[in-house]
Structure 1
Amino acid sequence: MSKEVPGANWRTWLELGRVSNLPTIWTNGLTGWLLAGAALDAAQLLHLLATLSLFYLGGTYLNDAFDAQIDAKEYSERPALQGNMAPRTVALLGAAMLGLGVLLAFLLNVPAGLCGLALALAILLYDWLHKQISWGPVIMGICRLLTYFLGALAVAKLSWPVMLGAFGLFCHVVGLTHAVKLKAYHRVIAIWPLVIMAVPVLVLMTMVALDDTDAGLTRVVLTGTMLAAYLLWCGGALARLFRRQPEDISKAIVGLIAAIALYDAVLIATTGAVDIALLAVVAFLATLALQRLAPGA
């Protein structure tokens, strides 16, 4: 008797989309928006967050579709490899979401649309090549950098705070993605690619130092606390990597993904939007909690 093939269920969709990481995508867009100096507009912000969500979900679906043969050996727990969904179906859904994301980006404005097109191309390049090349983490870093740019271009022009903050995020994600590759290929940890994670620390310290000297005590304390939290959390995650145990590497990767929202929180606080920065901290906690429901790495 042949084994019955289970159908796709809600957990399949969540796992394919790595939805636990979506809060960090939302804080990326929000940070780019606020660093550009624009006031918040609820309708336009929801438009932006929906656009970024489609890019992320489309990218994760296509990632599984491109990697189906390799993942069959390395990650047999992937939903697309358990008979829940055919790789072709996953690819079609991913392409549709990516295409819709580009359309929504152009509906924001032309510069945002062009940025969205660049983001879609970077996502496709990463999904296609990341397991064939050593510099895949750089492409992933560019993908995240472009989320800041898209957030800024949705409402304003690029400015030096946006570009500096985006560069720090790029470096955080390059180091993080290198750690993911180490997990995938069971390699001994290499130190030099992780040194790049010192750059976001320098970026945050620079942005905090350049913050308004007339900022109130509450803002100064909260910003400093968020910066300390980012340093301690990332330090603990990196320490796990050097233990070289599979469970430690997995926990480190999850921690570094969630820390993206902490990085965003510090930058948002430097704009004076302390209440929104606290929401970014909530996004950090939400990412950690959702990782238990749908693993994001």
Structure 2
Amino acid sequence: MNAASLPRSPRLRTYLRLGRVSNLPTVWTNALAGTALASFPDRPAPATVAVLALACSLAYIGGMFLNDAFDRAIDARERPDRPIPAGLIGAREVFAVGFALLGAGVLLVGAHTLSGAPIASALALSGAIVLYDAWHKGNPVGPLLMGTCRVLVYVTCALAVAPRLGTSVLTGAGLLLSYLIGLTYLAKHEGAYLAGRMPALSLRRFWPLALLFVPFVVMLPTALASAPVLAVYVLFLAWVVFALVRLRSGRPGAVPRTVVRLIAGISLLDALLIAPWAGSLAGIAAFGLTLWLQRYVSGT
């Protein structure tokens, strides 16, 4: 994180770090993909996408706040520079802001849709976020819980524009879940890496990373049938391979850097799922924006 480039207000800097706001473009493209897949062949209304993206952003930031609040004891040992152990903010305030943001996200979905299904999905999203934050350390199904949170972003946005979940949404959600499980499995080892206990990279230990490639297997026939889809496919594949090759190098900071690179790749997956629609260009732009923002606010 380039602290010199953050806002001068200490409290605002702390809030930006707690919220991992550099990753928000990946939430926006999740909202775009969820609504686009649900409304195909029509295109989602921009205002609807914007409102849903805002609601999901509130849920994401709230979840990140709660992540730090629940992990404060572990962070005190492994990441003492995080805002709570560093004494920059109190855990009570972080809990209060986190839960308030989750509630605001649900209320925004409800106010916009006035429909039971998306509201229920938004509530499920908030519940999954709290469950993950409170029970992800040492939890063998932690990566599944994290993936479920992102899947529920798809589901919430899809149900806000369609009465039911179609095949396209379910397929996209499944591919997103696979990618997130692989990503989160690696992220679980970041704390150990920072504490100097990182295990040696091996297929036996890190076979779940293979789940990162499930979207490429499933989407290959579609990519081969369309040049625009193939272009996004190749870009996404090249980025994932690049990230993992850099991880294998074992250089200092390899694990955290790989994690944030793969997080940015979420937007490329969204772009692939909605290609060849021109809206997929927004996913590519969000990918670049995420990488740029991660230079100033850490994505983990």
Q: TM-score, normalised by structure 1?
A: 0.90
Q: Which of 71, 78, 84 is the equivalent residue of 1:80?
A: 84
Partner SS, residue 84 of structure 2: helix
Q: Which residue number corresponds to residue 28 of structure 2?
A: 26
- Distance of 1:116 and 1:235 partners within structure 2: 34
Partner SS, residue 52 of structure 1: helix
Indicate how the Cα distance of structure 1 residues 147 and 206 shifts in structure 2: closer, same or farther if over 3 A, else same.
Answer: farther
Q: How does 1:26-105 map to 2 (within 5 A)?
A: 26-36=28-38, 37=40, 38-105=42-109
Q: Does 1:122 align with 2:140?
A: no
Q: Does 1:224 align with 2:230?
A: yes
User: Sequence identity, in percent?
Assistant: 41
Q: Which residue number corresponds to residue 4 of structure 2?
A: none
C-alpha contact (below 8 Å) 1:207/1:267 kept by paired residues: no
C-alpha contact (below 8 Å) 1:8/1:85 kept by paired residues: no
Indicate how the Cα distance of structure 1 residues 41 and 7 shifts in structure 2: closer, same or farther if over 3 A, else same.
Answer: closer
Q: Which residue number corresponds to residue 199 of structure 1?
A: 214
- Distance of 2:75 and 2:173 partners within structure 1: 31
Structure 1 gaps, min length 5:
1-5, 214-219
C-alpha contact (below 8 Å) 1:165/1:203 kept by paired residues: no
Q: Does 1:285 align with 2:272?
A: no
Higher mean alpha-carbon deviation, 176-185 vs 88-97, is at: 176-185
Q: Does 1:258 align with 2:264?
A: yes
Give the deviation of 1:182 after TM superposition: 1.4
Q: How does 1:124-273 map to 2 (within 5 A)?
A: 124-156=130-162, 157-186=164-193, 187-188=198-199, 189=201, 190-208=205-223, 220-270=226-276, 273=277
Deviations 1:159-214 (A, max 9, x none): 111111111111111111111111212332323111111212123325446xxx7x
Q: Which residue number corresponds to residue 217 of structure 1?
A: none
Amino acid at match of 1:52: C
Give the deviation of 1:135 after TM superposition: 1.8
Indicate how the Cα distance of structure 1 residues 86 and 206 shifts in structure 2: closer, same or farther if over 3 A, else same.
Answer: farther
C-alpha contact (below 8 Å) 1:61/1:91 kept by paired residues: yes
Q: Which residue number corresponds to residue 14 of structure 1?
A: 16
- Distance of 2:218 and 2:169 partners within structure 1: 11
Deviations 1:265-294 (A, max 9, x none): 111114xx22x1111101000000000111
- Distance of 1:27 and 1:113 partners within structure 2: 20
Indicate how the Cα distance of structure 1 residues 207 and 91 shifts in structure 2: closer, same or farther if over 3 A, else same.
Answer: farther
C-alpha contact (below 8 Å) 1:7/1:85 kept by paired residues: no
Amino acid at match of 2:29: T
Partner SS, residue 161 of structure 2: coil
- Distance of 1:129 and 1:149 partners within structure 2: 23
- Distance of 2:69 and 2:287 partners within structure 1: 28
Deviations 1:115-145 (A, max 9, x none): 1111111101100000131221110010111
CA RMSD of aligned residues (A): 1.7
Deviations 1:74-103 (A, max 9, x none): 111212222221011001000000011112
C-alpha contact (below 8 Å) 1:164/1:203 kept by paired residues: no
Q: TM-score, normalised by structure 2?
A: 0.89
- Distance of 2:167 and 2:217 partners within structure 1: 15
Give the deviation of 1:229 after TM superposition: 0.6
C-alpha contact (below 8 Å) 2:72/2:85 kept by paired residues: yes
Deviations 1:228-253 (A, max 9, x none): 01111001111222233341212211
Deviations 1:52-77 (A, max 9, x none): 01110110000000001110111112
C-alpha contact (below 8 Å) 2:222/2:229 kept by paired residues: no
Partner SS, residue 79 of structure 1: coil
